[in-house]
Every structure is written in C-alpha cells, then in structure tokens.
Amino acid sequence: MTVYRIPDLIAHKRDGLEHSPEALEQLIFGYVAGDIPDYQIAAWLMAVYLKGMTAPETAALTMAMAKSGDFLDLSSLPNTVDKHSTGGVGDKTSLVLAPMLAALGLTVAKMSGRGLAHTGGTIDKLEAIPGWNPVLGDEAFLKQAREIGMALVGQSKNLAPADGLLYALRDVTATVDNIPLIASSIMSKKLASGAKTIVLDVKVGGGAFMKTLEQGRLLARAMVEIGQHSSRNVRALLTDMDTPLGHMAGNALEVQEAIATLRGDGPKDLLELCLELAKEALLAHGFSVADAQTRPLEVIQSGAALEKFAAFVAAQGGDPSYVYHPEKLNVAQNTLEITALHSGFLERIDALAVGQAVLVLGGGRERKNEAIDHSVGVEVIKKISESVTAGEPLARIYHNHKGLEAAKTLLKHAFTLSSEKVNAPTLILDRVY
C-alpha cells in the first residue's frame, strides 16, 4: 500500500490534480484518528475549494467519510428507502412521506436530525407528540422497521464522524460553500445509513441554502453521481423554497398540518411534494409508471398512510390518540395576527423571515442541544397569488411572549403585495436522476 505524505496531497490538489481513492482514505482516516493536524486539513480544504473535485473523486471522498464510522446494516429489510431534504421552512415532508412509503410496501428505516437556525428538524417535530421517543436499540430498530415499515430515530450512531470534524473546520476556514464538499457531507451520512434508494429534496430559494436553481442543479447532480458510483439508486427533485411549504412553521403546528395531509385535508403544495417524492421512490424500486402515479394518493385516500403513522408513533412510545385528535397537541394559546396595510395580491413571502420568526419565538435553536419550545410558531394564512383586503390577516403568530416583538418585525416585512395578480410559484423546479 502506498503511504502518502500529507504535504504532497495538499500540493496535488493545489495543482488541480485528482486524488486516488486510496489517498483520500488515508487523508480522512488519518484525520479522524487524530494523526493529521487541523492546519494541514484546512490547507487541503482550501485547495479543494479553489480547484474542485471530479465526480469519481467526490464519490471516493464521500465513501471514505462514510467508512470513517459505523454503517447501518439494513440488508435484512425489504425495499429500503431514505429521504433527505437540504432544509427549508415549514418542511414537514418526512412526517407525511415516510408513512406513505411504508403503506406502499417500502421500508423507511432512517436516522433523522434536529433543527438548527431557521430550518426545522424531523426529530424536533415528532417530539411534540407526548411520549414519542427518538431512541431505539439496534434490534428494536430493525424489528420495528420490519414489522411496521417505518422507524425514525435520532442520530445516535457514530455515522460518518469525518463529516462533523470536516464541517467544523470548513465553518471557520470559509470553505463551506463548495459543491463537492456539501455533496460529500450530505451523502456520506446517507451512504452510512444503509438504504438502497435515496430520494433527495433539494430546496432552492430565499429560505434554502441553495439560493439559485443553478446552484441547486449542481448540488443535485453531484449527489446523484455519488449514488451512482456507490451502487445506490438516487433521485433528486429541486423544489421551491422562496415561500414556506404549507401554512405552518413550528413543531406542533407542523405535526398538525402533516396529520391533516395524511387525512387528505392538508395544503395543496405539501401534498403535491409528498406525492412526487413517493413517485420517485417507487420508480427507483422498479414500480411501473402507472403505479407510481396513482398508488401514493390511494394510500392517503384509503387512510392506510395515517394508520401507519399512528402505528409508528405508538411503537416508539407516543400516544396515538394525538394522531387521530391532533387538536390535543400543545400549541401556544397566545396569538397575534399580522395584517395587510392595503389591498392587493400577495406577490412574495420571505421564507427566511418566517423561519427566523419561529427561531426568535423559541421554536428553533441557534446552538446544538439548545432547548426549544415545541408549542410556538407561525401560520402563513395567505399564499402567493391570493387576493388580500386591507386589514385582512396575512399571518398568525403563536407565542409564549418570548421574542414576540422581534417576530412581529420580521413578519411585517415578510409579505409583499402587488396591485396585479401574479402566478403561484412552481413547486417542482427540476428533476435529476
């Protein structure tokens, strides 16, 4: 085996040359083991930032990062599928999509994260359901996934530890905004999570990390190519995040909206996105186009997806009565409405401002492990292209007094009205396979 000197690897990338998989493994494994200092990895990251990486090289980096820790072995489970969103406001998609896929005969056995900054996390939302527990032992996790088709837990495993180390360094060396490094960060955890199929929701717009469609396409293509090099089925949708998804942002509120969608009463955009993501998962598993088009809606209409969600909640210690009576969930009783100053048509909703409003109310966290208030949030009452009369409410704040003035200020500037009607935004912007 060739032993590579770290200064040579830095120079190699500085000169725009391609690393071998073996070189990348030595670099990543050595860093995780503590044998390579931060300053050398920082120099290498800047070289990658400036010179880029080829698709095979990015795939090799991702696999080395995935192999730096534990792997989930899902080989005993049928039709395994994982879903990842790059983060947005009001994005409660996993709460709807996972039970839909389980009702369709696929297996969703995944680790999900908590929210940070203006983006919410699936685990935080689920913890708004009394008793629900994000911790399962390995045997219980696999047993539940096999029996119900769905198990979601917090990130308790040592999955891709190289990613956490590299991201902390990227954060302080101005090397975060780089497509190969972003793609390898996301996909290293997905590869280590063990699913055969991975469906990606790449958010694009003001409330997302990818601000432009071009950036989103580059990231989606990089992640799909990583999957192809790693023998996984990876399909990506690029979706709009200039405006919040659905009407609700905030943990308990989003659970209520997700349950409404599973009952067939949810907002049009959330249902559309879940149906499209489910279709991609079915196509990746070899279902016919006709079945992929029709079956996801059938499990909503029949109530099968809702029943799966209730079974999942109960299996992880939650009270399933909240699934059938979501109005019982703890939602802040104090409300304040943001009203229109004049009449017109809603032209723009600043998704980032809505997310930041939830954050200052206490519904999000700025540091990991910070406690949050599951009961607070924002309801976006009007959607883009709808008519608005002066004095009519645009949004409703659910609060416990904390951060109320800051939230009001954010939301007063979040809505833009036009004298002429504009078209509703296109939700699905592109697809990458």
**DSSP code for 234:** E
Q: Name the catalytic one among 68, 94, 185, 193.
A: 185
Q: Name the catalytic one among 12, 19, 84, 374.
A: 84
Q: Are 412 and 338 in contact (CB under 8 A)?
A: yes
Q: Is the dihedral of CA 182, 187, 193, 198 positive or negative?
A: positive
As a whole number of Å, the CA-based R_g of the chain is 22
Q: Is 201 considered catalytic here?
A: no
Residue 240, Cβ density class (10 Å: 0-12 exposed, 13-18 middle, ≥19 buried):
buried
CA distances from 155 to 89, 134, 288, 347 (A): 21, 9, 34, 39
User: To 10 degrees, the CA torsion angle through 197, 203, 207, 209?
Assistant: 80
Q: Is 269 considered catalytic here?
A: no
Q: Is 163 considered catalytic here?
A: yes
Tokens of 302: 């029949």
Q: Name the catalytic one among 82, 124, 163, 240.
A: 163
CA distance 107 to 104: 9
Q: Are 258 and 95 in contact (CB under 8 A)?
A: yes
Q: Name the catalytic one among 19, 92, 157, 189.
A: 189
Ramachandran assignment for 232, one of left (phi > 0), alpha (psi -120 to 50 degrees), beta (any other) = beta
Helices (H), 16-54: 21-32, 38-51
Q: Is 170 considered catalytic here?
A: yes
Q: Is 189 considered catalytic here?
A: yes
Catalytic residue positions? 84, 163, 170, 185, 189
